[in-house]
Chains A and B, each alone.
Chain A
């Protein structure tokens, strides 16, 4: 929504024009992006907010290393303009723990199963898993197979085990 033009004050000094921008919420904090609205969310998160949990892996939405949640749905931040997230809630891996800092069940399970090798793809894997569990608290193997995120180190078997463990943590069956 365009803002009204600035009006001269009684002193006659014209204030700087109010900068319009894209408002959005990231991990519970509200931000206004005043740069190029087409800037991909990934580069805004990383270069501007310095939230570097979401990774660049391909830039074409194929690898999933940049996965974030927008209003709870997985999105490829490398292909999502900041403008497309206007007024929405973005969750990155930095915001996956609850506001008190308690880790999300997938984070606890990832630690318990010692999933990461290089670790570069894991933020995306964690968000994909968190979204799957939110949608399907007891996912089948086929549900897990449908996660398309790439891992070159070959941590898939541990990701599978960690998702099972996270499901058990979330349902209270595991500590």
Chain B
């Protein structure tokens, strides 16, 4: 590889001409590492197979664009490259998308990240891409235009670009492919290049189809579970059912006698306080075999017994009792206080109180956890179905002691994430095993492993109280939440454990004069983690259900009550993820749009009820409205509406999929799902007792309304979840007069009759 004749020393983007005349544009590591004084020549690859930049233009006009974020169904392999392609005016039909591995190299013992943020979580892939990836496209376009200017003798500002061509005022067309070699020799201005004006977008805002879909529907798409490495062994683990348990007895004789089983390796439990992947790994016994069936037979043949240590008596029934007791005592953390709640509540014309219960739930990604690892003395190679490749990288370094430059991590397409794969416990297991065995291994979790050894959405009991004045205004609001913090055992100090449970600026904070939010710690040994739109799923359920209860108790229209509470359109400070501000006008707007679509102002058909809810999640505003009936203990969801304002929409088809899918995911979970614990172990084993909704239970259509917006994009992966459960509970109340305050709803619905 030869470097271009003069790339910028401090510029954001760098150009390198490579053999074969292709143009490659990447963002140098310095943009993130903020290092200085040293040029890095090896940032971009020099061959097709080593492609490691965002954009490459081949002499034949084909444009290869790298997708840096793992795609687990949120569509980033499609949406991120389209942002780049639009800025460079590429012809989408000429674009090939290449998934990028973790971009890292060693800089004197410190990892240097080559592609910027690569994790997929918090709905941040699109907002991050909006901040930096447009530059990659704009730079490519700028270079191609300069090359065309040199070729034609025309000033660059007289040239325009369109779908893979530079076009002169007299309509001469120069293809990107024929310009690529010249463009690669140019350097970018230190000041950077201008981005397109939004009026010029040709791909952004237009519906796209997923780039992997043809491969998926023909069975050619490889997920993590679908990869095999040469002489690698399949590893499956028998896991201690107790959270803090350990091995009591092991006889591997019968397992080792099974043809195909090669090794049996105990994995001891790690001491509390160990942070590896997510925290301490639990105890297990790994069976390593030549194929899955042998491994499964070996697992079944193991003579293994476990003993519990501290957590052997834990139960979720007892946890509910603990929550009741704790809520009567002093708060662990006062999260927010405005005015004087006690006084305003005592003197209010109406006082309303209710309590809502949110169970533990599991992620149940359709593809169970898996990871392929090969450890050589000086090299680690991973195919890791992870949402957080950098933290997987940290796990590898921690276990192997290898340098940054010796660790390669590829991310396959992932069969669902939902926050589960933000934790890399399974990566840690696979690395430990590969290191111990000295062969490549492919760790495969079973569904039982997955449901029994997840990091679960926290359990919580929300005690709400409100005071309403004679005009129907809410003058006092209190939310006391007793929950098992998601951040427990994650190296977070005790006085910060509340931060994952209550978001201090969530509505109605800032809208009610006398307000108190407080968190009460619950002690429970079940591991917790991030579940799609983490704390919002619980809080939106409690808050938006309670607003409905207030409306009914004070004979107000639930829509009008919410709009009055939101008040005039204004920006309120919002300190948690999704801030720095919350626009009450945008939240009111989606609520009104959903209400209009469901026909809020008209009477529901006989026997049916309608319910609404809205929520602000990670910068996106979503409202749900449902029309339902209950008959014979069975729920029918006749209509489902979701209105979403997620800022500028990159791909309306993708946003529709995410909001519609998020809605169904939320409904399935709210109706059916709970993880319970008895005798220190998770009760649920597999889908028969953790019944994700099937097609028949779900609405036949979700009517998704997308609000046109010029605001920066917020992402859409999680916003469709939080307001769906309360809107459903509110609709069920409207239809039946029965208020469901406990998820899952199905047992409550069955009692309605």
Contacts and interface: CB of A to CB of B under 8 A. Distances in A.
Contact of A43 (B259, B291, B702): B291
A1 interface: no
Interface string B435-462: 0000000001011100000000000000
Interface string B692-733: 101110111110000000000000000000000000000000
B75 interface: yes
B218 interface: yes
Contacts of B210: 114, 116
Nearest to A50: B228
A151 interface: yes
A154 B665 contact: yes
Interface string A34-60: 011001100110111011111111111
Given A47-B293, A146-B696, A156 B209 contact: no
B442 to A, nearest CB: 10
B70 to A, nearest CB: 11
A85 interface: no
B696 A40 contact: no
A55 to B, nearest CB: 7
A168 interface: no
Interface of A: 35-36, 39-40, 43-44, 46-48, 50-60, 62-63, 65, 92-94, 96-97, 103, 106-107, 110-111, 114-123, 126, 141, 144-160
B692 A150 contact: yes
A155 B219 CA distance: 18
Nearest to A109: B217
A63 to B, nearest CB: 5
A157 B228 contact: no
A39 B218 contact: no
Interface stretch (B61-69, B92-100, B412-420, B606-614): B412-420
For the complex of A and B, list the 3 residue pairs with the smallest distance between their C-beta atoms, beginning with the closest: A53-B219, A154-B664, A120-B415
A110 to B, nearest CB: 5
Contact of B368 (A48, A56, A121, A159): A56
Nearest to B685: A60
B687 interface: yes
B218 A94 contact: yes
Given A114-B213, A150-B687, 16 more contacts: A46-B226, A50-B228, A57-B367, A59-B448, A60-B447, A60-B686, A96-B219, A120-B365, A121-B415, A122-B216, A147-B694, A149-B694, A150-B366, A150-B694, A154-B665, A157-B701
Contact of A118 (B364, B415, B699): B415
B263 interface: no
Contact of B73 (A46, A117, A123, A149): A117
Interface stretch (B47-55, B562-570, B655-663): B655-663
Given A57-B366, A58-B687, A111-B213, A119 B413 contact: yes
A120 B700 contact: no
A121 B687 contact: no
A152 B292 contact: no
B675 to A, nearest CB: 15
B701 to A, nearest CB: 5
Nearest to A27: B219
Chain B CB within 10 A, most for which of A48, A51, A155: A155
A7 to B, nearest CB: 28
Contacts of B657: 114, 117, 155, 158
Interface string B176-220: 000000000000000000000000000000000110111011111
B695 A145 contact: yes
B217 A141 contact: no
Nearest to B717: A117
B642 to A, nearest CB: 11
A62 B696 CA distance: 15
Contacts of A158: 657, 660
Contacts of B217: 93, 103, 106-107, 110-111, 115-116, 122, 126
A53 B216 CA distance: 8
A118 B218 contact: no
Nearest to A119: B216
B656 to A, nearest CB: 9
Given A47-B293, A126-B217, A150-B694, A118 B686 contact: no
